[in-house]
Amino acid sequence: MGARGFTFAALMPHAPILVPEVGRERLASAAASVAAMKAAAVRLVETQPDTVVVISPHSPRKPGSFGIWMGRRLQGSFSRFDAPDVGVDLPNDLRLAEAIGQDARNLGLRIWDIHSQALDHGALVPLRYLIAAGWNGPTTVFGLNYPGEGGLTELGRALASAVKEVGSSIALVASGDMSHRLTPDAPEGYEPRARDFDLEFITRLRRGSFQDLQRFDSGLRELAAEDVVDSTIVAAAATNWATAGHEVLSYEGPFGVGYMVAILSEQGHSREAAHMPVHLNETDP
């Protein structure tokens, strides 16, 4: 048995086009993101966690409540994205999920159990990369409340408390995409200030200024049509804002959406370790 608590935390994007069987020939336009996703997944698996926890902004939502996926298996496919034979089927760590839910309720948060639904792409995309890197172990997925409802740091505290109670080593993945409005053909249309959001987010992560994410300008976040801040705050709060080994591996916006891959924290990470570096492409939108 290895270390206990959080051994690794990362931010990974969740665009289905980043999955090879979905993106196909278009994947070449997101080569930096693909390489960084592979590198982050390998580094996560190398920490040999007992459980992987994914925070997905695309899980079903209810007003004022956080959702936790229950059920024996966590399953889903990319059938909506013309790849029905590609999917995820992992055991759910129900002991940890239940402990998170109880500790969250003890902190005054409203929690609901997500049953009998297929995993959303916010969880599926990072998990596909983890599976490709060799992960097949217990996994827990939970979703967010609506933007602006608060409780994010409290959810992080509940996660930390539950991990301590269970006594496991945990790898944590915050799933999120940055601005969806970088170019005229972007999914949410073009917004000139969207790039400002992405650059500011990159700056804060590179500096390790994770607590400053709580003070991000709400108007800029709305203009950018992002879904990355809340999940990152939960992950950072869960690890008590740890920054050891933090590193931005890549950023690009090839389809009008900002994709960032970053290590938020990594126990015992050495810069001399034999990992392929992936550099930030600062010329991207």
Segment 32-44 shows an average pLDDT of 97
CA 236 to chain centre: 11
The whole-number pLDDT of residue 278 equals 39
Segment 216-234 shows an average pLDDT of 97
Percent of the chain scoring above 90 in pLDDT: 91
Categorize the per-residue pLDDT at 2 as very low, low, confident or very high, splitting at 50, 70 and 90.
low
Q: Which helix (H) or strand (E) holds 272?
A: none
The whole-number pLDDT of residue 272 equals 41
CB–CB of 281/32 below 8 Å? yes
Q: Look over the chain and give the mean of its residue pLDDT values, rounded to a whole number.
A: 93
SS (H, E, C) 5-42: EEEEEEEECCCHHHCHHHHHHHHHHHHHHHHHHHHHHH
Rg (CA), the chain: 17
The whole-number pLDDT of residue 269 equals 64
The better pLDDT of the pair 3, 206 is held by 206
The better pLDDT of the pair 187, 152 is held by 152
How many CB atoms lie under 10 A from the CB of residue 183? 18
SS (H, E, C) 131-180: HHCCCCCCEEEEECCCCCCCCHHHHHHHHHHHHHHHCCEEEEEEECCCCC
Give whole-number Cα distances, 181 to 195, 205, 217, in Å.
8, 21, 17
CB–CB of 202/280 below 8 Å? yes
The pLDDT of residue 88 is above 90? yes
Q: Which helix (H) or strand (E) holds 208?
A: none
Can you give the pTM of this predicted structure?
0.94
Each residue's pLDDT tens digit, 154-185: 999 999 999 999 999 999 999 999 999 999 99
Hey, what domains does the chain have and what are their CATH numbers? 5-266 (3.40.830.10)
The whole-number pLDDT of residue 267 equals 85
| 3-state SS assignment for residue 227 | coil
Q: Which residue has the tokens 């891959």?
A: 261
Each residue's pLDDT tens digit, 93-108: 999 999 999 999 999 9
Percent of the chain scoring above 70 in pLDDT: 93
Categorize the per-residue pLDDT at 270 as very low, low, confident or very high, splitting at 50, 70 and 90.
low
Cα distance between residue 92 and residue 5, in whole Å: 18
Q: Which amino acid is at 50?
A: D
SS (H, E, C) 78-105: EHHHCEEEEEEEEEECHHHHHHHHHHHH
Categorize the per-residue pLDDT at 249 as very low, low, confident or very high, splitting at 50, 70 and 90.
very high
The pLDDT of residue 13 is above 90? yes
